[in-house]
Amino acid sequence: MPRQITAFSNPSVKAARELRDKKHRRTQGRFLAEGLRILTEAREGGRLPEQVFFAADSARHPLVTALVEAVEAAGGDAIETTPDILSKLSGKDNPGAVVGVFAEFEATLADLDRTSAGIWLVAERLRDPGNLGTILRTGDAVGAGGLILIDECVDPFSVEAVRASMGALFTVPIVRADWDEFLAWLRAGPGQLVALSLDTDLDYQQPAYERPTFLLTGNEAQGLPPAYAAACDLRVKMPMLGKADSLNAAVATAVMAYEVLNQQRRR
């Protein structure tokens, strides 16, 4: 039976609100996810929140009911609360119907089966949570095996990144690794490493991409370090016919991912 909380000072509300801060996410090993679609994607993918907060007027929605029942059946905590508290938790004036508190989860390079997918996404020193979330959505859309975050990237469990992923955080495995660790793992088996780069004349549609293809996107402002780019099997670029000299990192990743996907489909 869900319990009711209507006070901002309640310890459960305060602990959940703190998860908007990276320091507290690391300390607690938990993160926030907001919205019925995202939490339903998580439930259908086999991940349930430890706590779910929901407003009374949304309790009759069948997906909210299914979520609450699943959380309680798994021994979690279902909490009926007010729209004001949901707004405080989500940081939005018009929050979603539900907010969940999840235990953080990550894979390791050793967990990945590179032969399970034809496309893998790799991002180096990504800084923008919206880009990270969008790249996760692209990964889900093209059936990528996972997203490998290289060196110091933005936190994939930040509220902004989780929101931008629209549930793909729960469907696309995430691994964090440093460059040397990743490169040693990659070269121990099959895999073509393809860098998105401005420092090349090779058009992105010209090569025949091998399976599995690892698409490497660099930092939004600085691109890839020269040593990283030099270690790749291919460096490709997209034609820029206007005044802009490059695409947004997430957009470029999506264009490349669909080029690789389309080549693999034609084969």
Taking only the tens place, the pLDDT of each residue in 146-180 is 999 999 999 999 999 999 999 999 999 999 999 99
Backbone angles phi, psi at 98, to 5 degrees: -140, 150
DSSP letter for each residue of 50-94: SEEEEEGGGTTSHHHHHHHHHHHHTT-EEEEE-HHHHHHHHT-SS
Closest CA to 155 of 244, 8, 31, 239: 31
Which residue has tokens 């779910």?
52
CA distance 231 to 50: 42
Residue 108, helix vs strand vs coil? coil
Contact between 54 and 80 (Cβ < 8 Å):
yes
Helix (H) or strand (E) holding 184: helix 179-186
In the prediction, which pLDDT does 264 show?
94
CA distance 243 to 240: 8
Q: Give the CATH class of 109-266.
A: alpha beta
Strand segments, DSSP code E, in the chain are: 3-4, 30-34, 51-55, 77-81, 98-103, 119-124, 147-150, 174-177, 192-196, 213-217, 234-236
Contact between 167 and 98 (Cβ < 8 Å):
no
β-pairing, 51-55 vs 98-103, is: antiparallel
Closest CA to 96 of 47, 14, 40, 135: 40
Contact between 223 and 198 (Cβ < 8 Å):
yes
In the prediction, which pLDDT does 169 show?
95
In the prediction, which pLDDT does 241 show?
87
CA distance 72 to 19: 22
Produce one character per residue of 239-265: b if its CB has 16 or more CB atoms within 10 Å, e if not: eeeeeeeebebbebbbebbebbbebbe
Q: Where are the domains of the chain?
A: 3-103, 109-266
Could you tell me the two tokens for 146? Answer: 């996972």
In order along its 267 residues, the chain shows pLDDT tens digits of 788 898 989 999 999 999 999 999 999 999 999 999 999 999 998 999 999 999 888 878 999 999 999 999 999 999 999 989 999 898 777 766 899 999 999 899 999 999 999 999 999 999 999 999 999 999 999 999 999 999 999 999 999 999 999 999 999 999 999 999 999 999 999 999 999 998 899 999 999 999 999 999 999 989 999 999 999 999 999 988 888 777 899 999 999 999 999 999 998
In the prediction, which pLDDT does 247 show?
80
What is the widest separation between alpha-carbon atoms in the chain?
63
Q: DSSP state, 180? A: H
CATH superfamily of 3-103: Ribosomal protein L30/S12 (3.30.1330.30)
In the prediction, which pLDDT does 95 show?
65
- Are 3-103 and 109-266 in the same CATH fold? no
